[in-house]
C-alpha cells in the first residue's frame, strides 16, 4: 500500500509539474503576443497626435482603392494643411506648435467619427482623411466641416499675413472617378491639387478637385 501510494504521489507530482510548465509556456506566449500587438500599434501610430501614421494610412488607402477597383465602392481622400504653421512655430515655439497639432488632431478625430472615416497624420502639419461615400458632394461636405471644426477651436495665431488671428486649415478633396489608366496615387495627386487651389484662394477654405481646373 505504501509503495502504491508513493507511486501515485510521484505520478501526480509529475502531472502537476507538466501542468505548471504548460501554463507558464501559455502565459509567456500570450505575453509575447501582446508585446507584438503593442509594437505593431506603435509602428502604425503617430507618436505626437496618436493618429494613424503615414504607413498605416497608406495601407488603408490601398484597401480603399482595391475595393473601388473590384466592387466599385467609391471613396474620397481629403488633405488638410494647417495655415501658416511655420509662422505659428516662429511666434509661439515648437512646443506650442506641437500642442496646436494635438488640439487639431483631437478635434478632427472626433468629427470624422460621425462619417465613419479614417484620419491620419500625413507629415508635418498635414493630415489626411479617407472616407467611403457615394457622392462627391458628400466629400465636399466633410471637407467644409473640417474647416469649420478647426476654426471653432479659436486657437490664437497672431502672426498670420492675412488679417486672421486664429488657427485655420486649408483643405483639398478628391473623389474616385472612372478614368483610363487610373492609379492609386492619382487620387492623392488630385486632392493635393485641390489643396493648392484652396491655399491660392485665400486659405481657410475647402476645394474639391475638378478636372477642369
Per DSSP, the three-state class of 195 is: helix
Phi, psi torsion values for 81, nearest 5 degrees: -130, 130
Active site includes 126?
no
Q: The dihedral of CA 104, 106, 109, 110: what is its sign?
A: negative
DSSP 10-69: HHHHHHHHHHHHHHHHHHHHHHHHHHHHHHHHHHTB-TTT-SB-HHHHHHHHHHHHHHHH
The answer to whether 168 touches 143, Cβ cutoff 8 Å, is no
Write out the three cell numbers for 28.
509567456
Burial (Cβ within 10 Å: 0-12, 13-18, ≥19) of residue 126: middle
d(CA 67, CA 11) in angstroms, rounded, equals 58
Catalytic-role residue among 31, 52, 59, 125: 125
Question: Which residues are catalytically annotated?
Answer: 125
Amino acid at each position: 500500500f505504501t509503495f502504491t501510494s508513493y507511486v501515485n504521489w510521484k505520478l501526480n507530482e509529475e502531472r502537476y509539474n507538466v501542468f505548471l510548465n504548460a501554463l507558464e509556456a501559455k502565459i509567456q506566449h500570450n505575453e509575447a503576443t501582446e508585446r507584438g500587438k503593442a509594437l505593431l500599434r506603435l509602428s502604425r501610430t503617430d507618436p505626437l497626435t496618436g493618429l494613424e501614421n503615414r504607413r498605416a494610412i497608406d495601407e488603408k488607402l490601398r484597401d480603399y482603392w482595391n475595393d473601388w477597383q473590384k466592387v466599385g465602392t467609391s471613396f474620397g481622400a481629403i488633405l488638410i494643411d494647417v495655415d501658416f504653421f511655420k509662422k505659428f512655430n516662429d511666434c509661439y515655439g515648437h512646443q506650442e506648435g506641437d500642442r496646436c497639432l494635438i488640439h487639431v488632431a483631437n478635434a478632427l478625430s472626433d468629427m470624422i467619427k460621425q462619417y465613419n472615416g479614417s484620419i491620419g497624420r500625413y507629415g508635418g502639419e498635414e493630415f489626411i482623411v479617407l472616407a467611403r461615400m457615394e457622392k462627391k458632394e458628400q466629400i465636399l461636405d466633410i471637407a467644409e466641416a473640417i474647416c469649420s471644426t478647426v476654426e471653432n477651436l479659436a486657437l490664437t495665431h497672431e502672426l498670420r499675413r492675412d488679417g486672421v488671428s486664429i488657427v485655420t486649415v486649408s483643405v483639398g478633396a478628391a473623389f474616385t472617378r472612372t478614368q483610363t489608366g487610373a492609379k492609386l496615387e492619382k487620387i492623392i495627386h488630385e486632392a493635393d491639387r485641390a489643396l493648392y487651389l484652396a491655399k491660392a484662394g485665400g486659405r481657410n477654405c475647402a476645394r474639391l478637385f475638378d478636372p477642369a481646373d
